[in-house]
Copies of this chain bind each other. A is one copy, B any other.
Amino acid sequence: MAGKGKEKKERQKSLMDKIVKDPFLTDEELSEHFEVSIQTIRLDRLELGIPELRERIKSVAEGTYAKVRSISGKEIVGELLDIDLGKKGMSMLETDNSMAFEKTNIVRGQFIYAQAESLAIAVIDADVALIGVANIKYKQPVRSGQKLVAHAEIIKRRGNKFFVWVRIKLKMQEVFRGKFILVALDE
């Protein structure tokens, strides 16, 4: 047998790593980085089963398209239906499969929590830090596809400290309730 194959293995391992970390690299950029020809990179990808740049980008985009809009960067998780700044507000969240356990279709708590928290923040209308939460309760599991309506109400204010009650209903049934204690950070 011939061919050290050590460099190759190391390069391929490192290549896999690099592409996982940054799927936006072209073969050309990769070939410059590893100081091998483009063809070598392509052979490596072939052997490793790594798809071409455009396919990688596409799957990143597809995998995240529906999900992201519901949580994460957005100010309000769900859709703001009604708001009376400093007093109360209402939001609606249409749950979908991406928020749920695959097998059971039961929506993960974090999404329900995020709807509640973001609505609580919205009614205060300021950057806030969450200091305390108490009396949270998930009363019923929610299945994906169901529409959740959240009501938030500021029940007390002490200086820059707000006490907000949030109730989330599925049709007429309450599925979540929680009390948030928020501290406004406005300078």
Contacts and interface: CB of A to CB of B under 8 A. Distances in A.
Interface of A: 23-24, 54, 57-58, 60-65, 67-68, 70-73, 77, 98-99, 101, 103-104, 106, 108-110, 113-114, 117-118, 127-139, 141, 185
B110 A129 contact: no
B117 A113 contact: yes
A96 to B, nearest CB: 11
A135 B65 CA distance: 35
B113 A141 contact: no
B114 A110 contact: yes
B127 A138 contact: no
Contacts of A103: 127
Contact of A109 (B68, B106, B127, B130): B130
A132 to B, nearest CB: 5
Sort A-B residue pairs by CB-CB distance and give the 5 closest, nearest first.
Answer: A109-B130, A61-B61, A60-B61, A129-B141, A110-B114
Nearest to A132: B137
A64 B73 CA distance: 8
Nearest to A180: B109
A132 B138 contact: yes
Contact of A65 (B64, B70, B134): B64
